[in-house]
Structure 1
């Protein structure tokens, strides 16, 4: 039994509980093994910055709100997946952490898909489920889900689907047997009594069995059109959206479910859950699943495109920290970078660059920029995320060591569907176009400076936070 990495601290508690403490700056000042060991192997220390991004996010929320919270966290330790159940409570200026069900996988971690990693930051409720999808515990953060939180608290042990209304219930559910296979319910839209928003269920398997159910607000919603915009188009006030609103309003939700089923069935075949299968057929199933994911990515990009181009689109401004956003983006993509031997350099743990912007939109832009830098940079190179403030406002830059862009390519790179001659890399040619739209909608801009053979530097500027 190892002691906390702090002089005079108590040893690890019986029953496998791992305890730790943080200070008012969210620094880990004491930790039991194996958390302390993960800190050191990840390049941090005790005391030092928390090396598990999901745990850091939870600690920050508890310190900010003063309310205890719990969630399942996922991280990587020297290429191996690590899962644990974290319970964090306020303690003095910092927090007290209790980790249970700590599990380090025996096989190297596969790449964590960017959308699922990002969903942990966007979820407004997380429900821990057992193997049969029955409720164990819930962490609900949205005010309009207060009724759901109360129902889940008194209804532990029941199927999570008893507490929500899922679209096309007869197609997805059987009252006699409870929920269908989790893959068929993953990304299913649902409604909650007391909330006017549409929600989606993202179901993530846990390392030791059971699932984490993330409640995500519907990303593509119908956007209001101002009376002035309608007047310019000579549309009546009660006019319905035209064909150019088709994807986000009707087509994208309708396509998500069948594509999800295609992916789920292909994965069932590939993993031989239905029985023995020749290797070549398992390979075919893998190709089908990959093609389905690519199609889903295209749909999401097109839906985002429709949203940012819609009249009246406006991100929700908030007080954010660009240095924190940089560290989060790097943490989400760290596994992908490690697979290519690419080093991600981020601002110092104590660096702060206050700005005004919508957090999830800024993170969306950064994930696109860093993903591109990792995808097109040479193996063994470095991708640097820098932040700063000048007369233009605040800025965050992503610099790679790739082939760079000549003047003509730099002019075209932000155009819609522009791939610069690349093919077969899984991209849609919409990411940078959407990212620039988002940057300008938030009162900033996205530009590139590059020269052929010298790498590319993409810089996102945003208004400075006058209250900081």
Structure 2
């Protein structure tokens, strides 16, 4: 009996091993359908268990529980698409508050958290993918409030565990924070008058206000901060991070925009009379189209009596063949451009991690009190640090240009008080100007609200100020001036009396990677290209006036509210 039982056990074990081999073989065969993954990555996917994804019940439109108890939102759509493309098994766990999810991920109880911004504190125990959506952080007040920007010492409410709290502590250290358990309760307290100011991201604010039917709140303006949201994962799952980055790159700009448009809408709801007016206009348009259709049918009947157009059809056929050949060539060119864009984005992302390590170790060498360096060693470490920072700026510019070309860089114009932003940019540029012996001046008049993305406008101004200082001469000056004109909106001018540009250089100014023959100065040659595209996506423009040896004037034009 014991021998018979042993034989039965061995037979059962053999069948289980065969079944497991077939299952692994099937998973491996499925993974081979994804040639954009390496063999190591496909093998990891085939052998991996279910990966636990955190969710928050009231973080709409990213994750929220609807009236039927289902988990929905932009993050849910992205997880579904990532599973389809990569073969990963990402599954949401039971919804918990955001702060509890962060604790669970730190403790290893969760594997991923969607729609998350990278911060130094989180980077200590998490890795992050590239961002796939950008959302500005805004200040909310009740309708009728006389205050606009945050007043010194004024309390402000923020959600528990969100990255905006760290930003507010740095930018507004004199404003005490009131931490709320979730966004929904914070909006209700703001609407009822229990609090006077709250800060949260614009997408969640509009989603929650519309869902809760709150009618007495308004977006006061931005706070100079935006959530660049990607996927956070446990730091030890580095291979998973590579797979997620590659999979995100397979989702093209049109599909990303469609998912964003499904969940994030920044437009106000139309009133009943507006809807009735639109319906009436649609009915009138339908009648007009019907009349036009009858006229076209009558004309078509008359055209049947015209003599056969054999020769004309032959010409049209030849033209169609020519257009098809042109379309094919254009499709090949677009595919090559897309491949170039994906390569630049992936390469830039992969290069940034080792560069950060170089910078970190250079700083450790220079600041080690127990093993101080001599003067020559400090100078060499300084060269390493400067070269690494220059290369990091080049990589960041390449990533920004790649995201602009692929359409994944979000630009959201908002009502903006330009004065504080201008003062902040000028103060940040003063140390560089003083080091170069350049006088930096700010001439600011009372300004109206402008339509601009604060993060992107600050990026453009930093680039113009850096160029004005870099291509100047000792004892020169740089002047920043802002004013408003009824016909042109808000104008911001950055002028200098530096080297200036010739007519030939002006013609080549906005060409990518064109240094205009100034190789002696550090730079990437794409800063102005990025600035021009960012201004156009904000509904504005950038103009330049310059003469060789007499300085330059760069003028930004923005629409006013």
TM-score, normalised via structure 1 length: 0.51
Matched, 1:67 2:156: yes
1:4-403 to structure 2, matched below 5 A, reads 62-63=150-151, 67=156, 86-88=173-175, 142=201, 168-169=235-236, 224-225=253-254, 242-248=339-345, 250-273=346-369, 275-311=371-407, 315-348=411-444, 351-390=446-485, 391-403=487-499
Shift of 1:336: 1.6
SS of structure 2 residue aligned to 1:252: helix
Contact 1:327 1:347 survives alignment (8 Å): no
Residue ranges of structure 1 left out of the alignment (5+ in a row):
1-58, 75-82, 91-138, 147-163, 172-188, 190-219, 236-240
Q: From the superposition, tell whether residues 343 and 278 of structure 1 become closer, same or farther in structure 2 (CA, over 3 Å).
A: closer
Matched, 1:457 2:548: no
Shift of 1:320: 1.3
Shift of 1:243: 4.3
Contact 1:324 1:352 survives alignment (8 Å): no
Q: From the superposition, tell whether residues 322 and 376 of structure 1 become closer, same or farther in structure 2 (CA, over 3 Å).
A: same
Q: From the superposition, tell whether residues 167 and 332 of structure 1 become closer, same or farther in structure 2 (CA, over 3 Å).
A: farther
Contact 1:403 1:454 survives alignment (8 Å): yes
Larger Rg computed on CA atoms? 2
Contact 1:406 1:450 survives alignment (8 Å): yes
Contact 1:71 1:87 survives alignment (8 Å): no
Kindly provide the CA deviation profile for residues 207-255 of structure 1, in whole angstroms up to 9, marking residues without a partner as x: xxxxxxxxxxxxx9977326999x99879xxxxx74422333x333322
Distance 2:203 2:407 in 1: 27
Residue ranges of structure 2 left out of the alignment (5+ in a row):
1-146, 159-164, 178-197, 206-230, 242-248, 259-326, 333-337
SS of structure 2 residue aligned to 1:394: strand
Contact 2:456 2:534 survives alignment (8 Å): yes
Distance 1:313 1:446 in 2: 19
Give the CA RMSD over aligned residues: 4.4
Higher share in strand: 1
Contact 2:542 2:555 survives alignment (8 Å): yes
SS of structure 2 residue aligned to 1:449: strand
Distance 1:453 1:442 in 2: 32
Shift of 1:343: 2.5
Distance 2:172 2:448 in 1: 31
SS of structure 1 residue aligned to 2:473: coil
SS of structure 2 residue aligned to 1:415: coil
Contact 1:322 1:396 survives alignment (8 Å): no
Distance 1:66 1:387 in 2: 31
Contact 2:541 2:556 survives alignment (8 Å): yes
Aligned residues: 285
Kindly provide the CA deviation profile for residues 55-111 of structure 1, in whole angstroms up to 9, marking residues without a partner as x: xxxx9853398626887999xxxxxxxx99933259xxxxxxxxxxxxxxxxxxxxx
Q: From the superposition, tell whether residues 431 and 396 of structure 1 become closer, same or farther in structure 2 (CA, over 3 Å).
A: same
SS of structure 2 residue aligned to 1:413: coil
Shift of 1:354: 2.1
Distance 1:388 1:221 in 2: 44
Distance 1:399 1:420 in 2: 19
Of 406, 428, 431 in structure 1, the residue corresponding to residue 502 of structure 2 is 406
Kindly provide the CA deviation profile for residues 253-288 of structure 1, in whole angstroms up to 9, marking residues without a partner as x: 322211111111122223345624443333222222
SS of structure 1 residue aligned to 2:253: coil
Q: From the superposition, tell whether residues 341 and 442 of structure 1 become closer, same or farther in structure 2 (CA, over 3 Å).
A: same
Which residue is 2:137 aligned to? none
TM-score, normalised via structure 2 length: 0.44
Give the number of the structure with larger relative contact order, counting CA–CA contacts within 8 Å between residues 6 or more apart: 2
Contact 1:68 1:87 survives alignment (8 Å): no
Distance 2:452 2:155 in 1: 24
Which residue is 1:45 aligned to? none
Contact 1:404 1:454 survives alignment (8 Å): yes
Distance 2:440 2:495 in 1: 10
Q: From the superposition, tell whether residues 144 and 428 of structure 1 become closer, same or farther in structure 2 (CA, over 3 Å).
A: same
Higher share in helix: 2
Distance 2:236 2:199 in 1: 24
Which residue is 1:425 aligned to? 521
Contact 1:376 1:402 survives alignment (8 Å): yes
Distance 1:316 1:222 in 2: 21
Which residue is 2:539 aligned to? 443
Contact 2:447 2:490 survives alignment (8 Å): no
Q: From the superposition, tell whether residues 144 and 268 of structure 1 become closer, same or farther in structure 2 (CA, over 3 Å).
A: farther
